[in-house]
Amino acid sequence: MTVGEVPGSKSITARALFLAACADGTTVLRRPLWSDDTEGFATALSTLGYSVDRAPDRCVVEGSPQGPPAGGAEVYCRDAGTAARFLPTLGALGHGTFRFDGSAQLRRRPIGPLTGALRALGVDVRHDEQEGHLPVTVTGAGLSGGALTLDASLSSQFLTGLLLAGPLTEKGLTVTVTDLVSVPYVEMTLAMMRRFGNDVTWSGDTFHVPPQPYRAAEYAIEPDASTASYFLAAAALTGRTVTVPGLGADALQGDVRFAKVLQEMGADVRLRTDSVTVTGPERLSGITVNMRDISDTMPTLAAIAPFADGPVRIEDVYNTRVKECDRLDACATNLARLGVRVETGRDWIQIWPGTPRAAEIDCRGDHRIAMSFSVTGLRTPGLTLDDPGCVRKTFPEFHEVLGALLRDWAAEDVS
Ligand SMILES: O=C(O)C1=C[C@@H](OP(=O)(O)O)[C@@H](O)[C@H](O)C1
Ligand SMILES: C=C(OP(=O)(O)O)C(=O)O
C-alpha cells in the first residue's frame, strides 16, 4: 500500500523559507509543508516584511540579503521550535526592535544558548519575562560576526539558527560546539545552505561560515520522514506493507533511519534511493537502540514497543524531555495507563512486552504523542486521544490519512 499523502518535511520547509528570505532574488519552493508550524514560519516572515506568496503546492519568496525589510516587528512563533530558534538571528541581522514570542508550550522550551550566542556576538538581546525563555526582544543593528562557543546539548536548532544567518554577517561566523544533539539536522542545514550557494566548513567541533551571499533557488521539498515513521510503524505492527514514495536512502532527513530500526526488529525493509517500503513481521523483536540522532521517532518506537517479543530499550534521548512536552515522561505515563510495564531514567526508557488495554491517551498537546499512540490504537480496541487536534502542528490531515489507509487494508482483505 502506498501512502502518497505524507506531506513535506517541516524541517526542510522551515530552512528553505529562511534561506529564501536571505537570498538575492526570487525563490520558488515546491511541495512545502503547510501545517501550524510552517504556516507560522511563513507568517512570521511576512511580519518581518518579506514578500511570501503561498499556494497549496508551492511558495514564492522575495529575498532580502540586507535582513528583514521591516524596521521592527512583533513575531509570534506559535508552538514551533524551528521558528523560535531560527528567526531571532534574522532579527539580529536587521535594523530595529524585533520581539519574538510563542505559545505557553513554546515559552517553556529553552532558548538561552541561542540568545547567549547572540549576546557574545554583541547583539542587544533581552528576555522579557524569564531568562533563557521566550518572549525575547532583539535589537538588530546588523551582525558583524566572529567566533563563539555554543552548548547544543539541548537542541541542535540553536546551531542551525546561527549557521543559517552566518553568511550574512560581515566577517563570517565560527561556532565551536561543546556538545551537540540531533546531528542529522545540522547536516541537513549544511546541505541546504550549499544548495543556496554557501559552503560551511565543519571540522571536529568547529563550524566556519564564510560571508557569502545566498543565491535564490528552485527547491523541491521531500516528504517528512518523522511523519512517515507513523505509517512505517503501522505496517510493522500489523504485518502489512507500506511504501512511502519520495523518501529514501538519499533523503536529507536522518529520521528515515527509523526504517532501519524496524528492520533490526524483524521487519522487511526496502530502502531505495527515493522510496521506502516496510513489511511487518509476524512478531517484532525487542531491541536496544540509541536514538540521539533520530529522537523525534522515539515516541513512535515506544508506542509499538509493547507488541515486541522482548524488552525495547531506547537510550540517549534526554533532550526529548524539552520538546513539546517531556516526551520520556509522556510515553511512560501513557504506556502505564495502558497497563504496560515501563521504566525510565534521565535519558532512557525501557518497555516490556504486554497487551495494552483500552484507555484515554494524555497527549499533552504534543502532536508526536497523538500520532504515535494512534498507531498503538491499531491493535488496542478502545484507545482514545484526549486531544486529537494537536496533530495540526505538523500534519493536520493525519487522522484522515491513517483512516484511509485502514479502509484500503480492509478493502484488500475483502477482495
Ligand atoms: O532543526 C530542526 O528542524 C529540528 C531539530 C530537532 O530538534 P533538536 O535539535 O532540538 O533535537 C527535531 O527534534 C525538530 O523536530 C526539528
Ligand atoms: C520537536 C519538534 O518540533 P520543534 O522543535 O520544531 O518545535 C517535533 O516536531 O517533534
ipTM score assigned to the predicted complex: 0.99
- Residues 204, 328 within the same domain: no
Does 378 fall in a domain?
Answer: yes
Domain count, the chain: 2
Question: Catalytic annotation on 151?
Answer: no
H-helix segments, 239-366: 258-264, 298-304, 327-337
- What CATH number is given to the structural domain containing 159? 3.65.10.10
What would the mean pLDDT of 395-414 be, rounded to a whole number? 94
- Residues 238, 141 within the same domain: no
- Residues 17, 53 within the same domain: yes
Catalytic residue among 37, 101, 224, 296: 296
Residue nearest to atom 2 of ligand 2 (CA): 323
Residue nearest to atom 6 of ligand 1 (CA): 182
pLDDT exceeds 80 at position 2: no
Sign of CA dihedral 330, 334, 335, 340: positive
Residue ending a domain, among 197, 220, 243, is: 220
pLDDT exceeds 80 at position 3: no
- Would you place residue 307 in the very low, low, confident or very high pLDDT band (cuts 50, 70, 90)? very high
pLDDT for 134 equals 98
H-helix segments, 141-251: 157-165, 183-195, 225-238
Cell digits of residue 183: 546531528
Higher pLDDT, 3 or 297: 297
- Residues 136, 241 within the same domain: no
Does 103 fall in a domain?
Answer: yes
Does 400 fall in a domain?
Answer: yes
Sign of CA dihedral 365, 366, 369, 374: positive
Residue ending a domain, among 177, 200, 220, is: 220
What proportion of the chain, given as a percentage, has pLDDT over 90?
A: 98
Does 2 fall in a domain?
Answer: no
pLDDT exceeds 70 at position 78: yes
What would the mean pLDDT of 71-96 be, rounded to a whole number? 98
Write down the mean pLDDT value for the chain: 97
- Residues 259, 143 within the same domain: no
Q: Which atom of ligand 2 is nearest to the CA of 106?
A: 7
- Residues 16, 157 within the same domain: yes
- Residues 265, 400 within the same domain: yes
Question: In this predicted model, what pLDDT tens digit does every residue of 333-380 receive, in sequence order?
Answer: 999 999 999 999 999 999 999 999 999 999 999 999 999 999 999 999
Q: Which of 209, 206, 207, 196 is nearest to 169 (CA)?
A: 209
CA 17 to ligand 1 center in whole angstroms: 16
Cell digits of residue 84: 523560535
Does 185 fall in a domain?
Answer: yes
Structural domain span for residue 99: 10-220
CA 378 to ligand 2 center in whole angstroms: 24
Three-class SS state of 299: helix
Does 23 fall in a domain?
Answer: yes
Which bound ligand lies closest to the C-alpha atom of 324? 2
Distance CA 369, CA 335 (A): 11
Does 196 fall in a domain?
Answer: yes
Distance CA 196, CA 202 (A): 17
Q: Which atom of ligand 1 is nearest to the CA of 322?
A: 10
- Residues 211, 238 within the same domain: no
- Residues 82, 186 within the same domain: yes
pLDDT for 5 equals 81
Residue ending a domain, among 171, 202, 220, is: 220
- Residues 239, 278 within the same domain: yes
- Residues 147, 262 within the same domain: no
- Which residues, 6+ apart, have CB-to-CB distance to 228 below 8 Å? 3, 6, 244, 247, 255, 256, 258, 276
- Residues 210, 233 within the same domain: no
pTM of structure: 0.98
- C-alpha dihedral, 167 to 170 to 172 to 178, nearest 10°: -100
Does 347 fall in a domain?
Answer: yes
Cell digits of residue 89: 538571528
Distance CA 240, CA 247 (A): 19
Residue nearest to atom 10 of ligand 2 (CA): 296
Question: In this predicted model, what pLDDT tens digit does every residue of 105-156 receive, in sequence order?
Answer: 999 999 999 999 999 999 999 999 999 999 999 999 999 999 999 999 999 9
Q: Which atom of ligand 1 is nearest to the CA of 189?
A: 1
- Would you place residue 1 in the very low, low, confident or very high pLDDT band (cuts 50, 70, 90)? low
